[in-house]
Amino acid sequence: LAVLRIRLLICVLIWGGVFCPGQGYLPSLGRLRNVVVLAGAGISTASGIPDFRTPGTGLYANLAKYNLPYPEAVFDVDFFSDDPRPFYSLAKELYPGRHRPNYVHYFIRVLHQKGLLLRMYSQNIDGLEKMCGIPEDKLVEAHGTFASASCHLCYTAFPAEEQAIMSDGVPTCSFCSATVKPNVVFFGEDLPEKYFQHARDFPRADLLMIMGTSLQIEPFASLVNTVRSTVPRLLLNRHAVGPFERKPLRRRDYMELGDLVDSVSRLARILGWHAEIQDLLNSQEGGVWGPALCV
């Protein structure tokens, strides 16, 4: 049944003019040139990085030993000032280089190579989008990056290699002795300047793809509502989230729920992109994903 649903969706995307009762029309993929992707932690779980919120296995659940007042305190600047250890424990799991991109990342890269990707907006700080080859100018890391760091009090800049994240200690500023923090956006901090490209990008979008996100963190979550009302929105996710929880769905909203790699690999096969993605995986990742993607 899932395959039939996604085949119908892709038929609509590719050929256009196909009417889906209660959901209207989607434009032809051949006419799409400005696809915007919104992505969250769910696109990286197949790379071995837990998401944040899954009970028992999520990254927040694994911080229970620190007796946080609430899980999100790990990204609270004031709490970080008092006790940076929970953040640096979490950082060891997310630090770029420990994990490799998976099929979903390479699907988005191929979307770029086909000339279809206007921009990818990612909540992730794991660096896997860059690692798989998505160009800097096509990527907005909405919640910051590990690529640089600064003292969280005097703002002295430090190169990434001085963060010493993978050690058991906490890096400190050589000028004021406060804690050095990667340039990851904490609650209450300003978003990167590049994030505000959305004011130009989203009015231009002709398809919005939402992948692997709970759509719970603002203002990122509200971006989904800033495309034009005539623009189709496609959710590929484990669960319905945000406006996709509404019944009935808004006209031009579509969703495919379940395992994200399974959904994306089916989508790629129907589009005829699977072999290209698999070749990239073979050349860049040694084909480690190949057996798992024969779906």
State yes or no: 287 annotated in a binding site: no
State yes or no: 119 annotated in a binding site: no
State yes or no: 11 annotated in a binding site: no
- Catalytic residue numbers read 143
State yes or no: 214 annotated in a binding site: yes
Distance CA 200, CA 206 (A): 13
State yes or no: 41 annotated in a binding site: yes
Q: Which residues pair with 234 in a beta bridge?
A: 209, 254
State yes or no: 278 annotated in a binding site: no
| Long-range contact pairs involving 261-266 (C-beta distance under 8 Å, separation at least 24) | 261/46, 261/102, 261/103, 261/104, 261/292, 261/293, 262/295, 263/2, 263/6, 263/236, 264/103, 264/104, 264/107, 264/211, 264/236, 265/103, 265/293, 265/295, 266/2, 266/3, 266/6, 266/295
Q: Which residues pair with 257 in a beta bridge?
A: 237
State yes or no: 22 annotated in a binding site: no
Number of residues that make up the chain: 295
State yes or no: 126 annotated in a binding site: yes
State yes or no: 125 annotated in a binding site: yes
State yes or no: 213 annotated in a binding site: yes
H-type alpha helices, 152-292: 198-204, 260-271, 274-285
Annotated binding site: 41-45, 51-53, 123-126, 151, 154, 173, 176, 213-214
Residue numbers in the known binding site for Zn(2+) are: 151, 154, 173, 176
Give the residue ranges of the annotated binding site for NAD(+): 41-45, 51-53, 123-126, 213-214
